[in-house]
Amino acid sequence: MKIALIQMKVQKANDANIQSACRQVTTAAQAGADLVLLPEMFCCPYETANFPLYAQPQGGANWSTLSACARENNVYLVAGSMPERDGEAVFNTCYAFDRQGKQLAKYRKMHLFDVDIKGGQRFFESETLTAGSELAVFDTEFGRMGLMICFDIRFPELARLLALQGAKTILVPAAFNMTTGPAHWELHFRSRAVDNQVFLMGCSPARDLSASYHAYGHSLVVSPWGEILAKLEEQEGILYCDVDLQKTEAVREQLPLLKARRTDVYDTRIVGR
C-alpha cells in the first residue's frame, strides 16, 4: 500500500484550505497513492475561538467536497480533522472515506488538548470543543485501520483498544507545537507503534511562523518495530511511503506481546460509556 501524508500550510479561508487539500490529494493519487492522510484542523487556523466559527455538520459542504475528492481520485481519504457542529456541540472530527467517497468511519477527538505549560503555551480546546467517546476502526483491502487525533497519542489505553479491535495501522492527524513537538513527537509515535506492534502515521500541518499557532511539522511513518520509515521537516510537502500491513503479523510472531498480556491481573477493554 502506498500512503501519502499531506503536510500543508493552513490559510485563513476555509474554502482555500479545502481546495488546496484536494489539489494535493490529486497530486498524491497521480503518484500512485492508495491512501491519503490530511493534518489536524487543516481547514481552520488552530485557535479555540475559530472552531465554532468554522464548524460544519456531517454532510455539509466540506464533507461533500472531500467525499467527492476521494471518489474522483479513487483513494482512501482520511480527511485530517475539522470542526464538526452537532446541535450546540462542536467536535474535533476526522472522517475517513473509501475509494467511492463513502464514509467508512468518523472519529471525534476523545482527549482534548487542555494544557498550560510553564514557559510554553497555554491552550484549552475544551473552551469551545466537546470530547468524543467512540472508538473508530475501519476495514480496507489492505487491512484494518484505526483513528486517533493528536493529543490522543499520549494515552496508551486508546491505542491498545484500537489494536485489540484489529487495527494494523493507526492514522493520526496531529498538530504538536514547538514546545511539545521537539520533546515528544517522535517519542510518542515510536512508543505507541512498539507497544501495539502496528504502523503509526502522523500528519501535521506545515509550520507557519506568521500564524498564532506554530505547528511542529515533521509528519512521519513508523513501523511496528519502531523504525521511522519516512519523515518530513517543517516545510510544506507530501510524504510518500510504501507499507505492507501484513508485516504487523511478522513482528507479533517474533515478539508476541499482545498474546503475553496478563489479563488475569490487568486489562484494557470497553466497559461502558
- Determine which one of 22, 69, 94, 150 is catalytic: 150
Q: Is 120 helix (H, G, I), strand (E, B) or coil?
A: coil
| Residue 4 near residue 247 (C-beta atoms within 8 A) | no
Specify whether 109 is catalytic. Answer: yes
Element of type H or E holding 187: helix 180-196
Q: What are the CA-CA distances from residue 73 to residues 100, 101, 252 (Å)?
A: 9, 9, 34
φ and ψ of 24, to 5 deg: -75, -30
- Determine which one of 106, 109, 168, 231 is catalytic: 109
Q: Are strands 76-78 and 89-97 parallel, antiparallel or unpaired?
A: antiparallel
| Residue 184 near residue 178 (C-beta atoms within 8 A) | no
Length of the chain, in residues: 273
Q: Which grid coordinates are listed for 236?
A: 510544506
Return the percent helix, strand and coil in the chain, to nearest 5: 30, 25, 45
Specify whether 186 is catalytic. Answer: no
Q: Which grid coordinates are listed for 211?
A: 500564524
Neighbouring C-beta atoms of residue 65, cutoff 10 Å:
16
Specify whether 40 is catalytic. Answer: yes
Report the catalytic residues. Answer: 40, 109, 150
